[in-house]
């Protein structure tokens, strides 16, 4: 079986960040970096650090596919290939219930989605019951991060500091053609989009759950 690829990662190499691999993947501080998934401690609600989570969310079931129980999964990272060789996935249903499902087949679909044929889902009706379910894989099945890389999901919930002062919290990482962008919920209200580039991001400390900004440029 081919090695797992990260679910979304950005690289910090002193150049503009890149997102590679599956749906939420590693990111490099000052460069770029959701496996979007989504969420670590440090965010409102005092949840456990995302790094401690044993599964990473790759996408969500958007609808049934075909008439034989397959489902279409919209990936957080359209380029993700993490589900290509998956044998088992974890589903977390909208009501909070979770279950493991064996993957009988997986193949790419259009517009950043994949189609999964799952054990126990053989009809449109059974597939419909999975609509909205979060689809995740064990962190151990994702490609390891290199030095200076972080899964995008691990950035979510981090406090954002500028000039040593907190200005908000990372709520998600957006992956644009040009670069990755931190979507920050500002303490003063509203949102701020900060490119994951060395010119804007000075560093990431997952232990402290902080992202230090170097500059806001004209963003503020």
CATH for 54-141, options being 2.40.30.60, 3.20.20.70, 2.60.120.20, 1.10.10.10: 2.40.30.60
The DSSP result for 4-47, as a single string, is P--SBEE--SSS---EESSSSBEEBTTTB--------TTSTTTP
3-class secondary structure, 211: strand
DSSP 214: S
C-beta of residue 116 within 8 angstroms of C-beta of residue 108:
no
Q: Provide the CATH number for the domain formed by 9-51+146-213 in this structure.
A: 2.30.30.240
Report the C-alpha gap between 155 and 32 in whole angstroms: 10
Inform me whether the pLDDT recorded for 197 exceeds 60: yes
Residue ranges of the chain that CATH labels 2.30.30.240: 9-51+146-213
- Calculate mean pLDDT across residues 151-169: 92
pLDDT band at 153 (very low <50, low <70, confident <90, very high): confident
pLDDT for the residue 44: 26
Higher pLDDT, 3 or 220: 220
Give pTM, 2 decimals.
0.64
pLDDT 10s digits, 30-58: 333 333 333 332 222 223 334 336 888 89
Q: Are strands 159-162 and 210-213 parallel, antiparallel or unpaired?
A: parallel
pLDDT band at 130 (very low <50, low <70, confident <90, very high): very high
C-beta of residue 142 within 8 angstroms of C-beta of residue 82:
yes
Report the C-alpha gap between 65 and 21 in whole angstroms: 24
| Ranges of H-type helices in the chain | 124-128, 152-155
Residue ranges of the chain that CATH labels 2.40.30.60: 54-141
Give the mean pLDDT of the chain: 78
3-class secondary structure, 155: helix
C-beta of residue 137 within 8 angstroms of C-beta of residue 84:
no
Beta bridge partners of 79: none
CB neighbourhood size of 18 (10 A): 19
């Amino acid at each position: 079986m081919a090695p797992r690829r990260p679910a979304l990662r950005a690289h910090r190499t002193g150049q503009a960040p890149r997102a590679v691999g599956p749906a939420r993947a590693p990111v490099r501080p000052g460069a770029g970096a959701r496996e979007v998934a989504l969420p670590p401690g440090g965010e409102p609600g005092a949840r456990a650090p995302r790094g401690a989570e044993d599964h990473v969310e790759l996408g969500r079931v958007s609808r049934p596919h075909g008439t034989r129980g397959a489902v279409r999964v919209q990936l957080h990272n359209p380029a993700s290939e993490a589900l290509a060789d998956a044998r088992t996935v974890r589903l977390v249903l909208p009501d909070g219930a979770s279950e493991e499902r064996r993957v009988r087949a997986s193949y790419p679909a259009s517009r950043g989605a994949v189609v999964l044929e799952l054990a126990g889902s053989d009809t449109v009706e059974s597939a419909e019951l999975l609509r909205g379910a979060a689809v995740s894989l064990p962190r151990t099945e994702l490609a390891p991060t290199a030095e200076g890389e972080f899964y995008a999901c691990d950035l979510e919930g981090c406090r954002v500091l500028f000039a040593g002062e907190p200005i908000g919290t990372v709520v998600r990482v957006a992956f644009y053609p040009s670069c990755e962008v931190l979507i920050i919920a500002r303490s003063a209200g509203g949102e701020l989009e900060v490119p994951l580039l060395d010119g804007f991001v000075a560093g990431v400390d997952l232990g402290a759950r902080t992202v230090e900004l170097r500059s806001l440029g004209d963003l503020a």
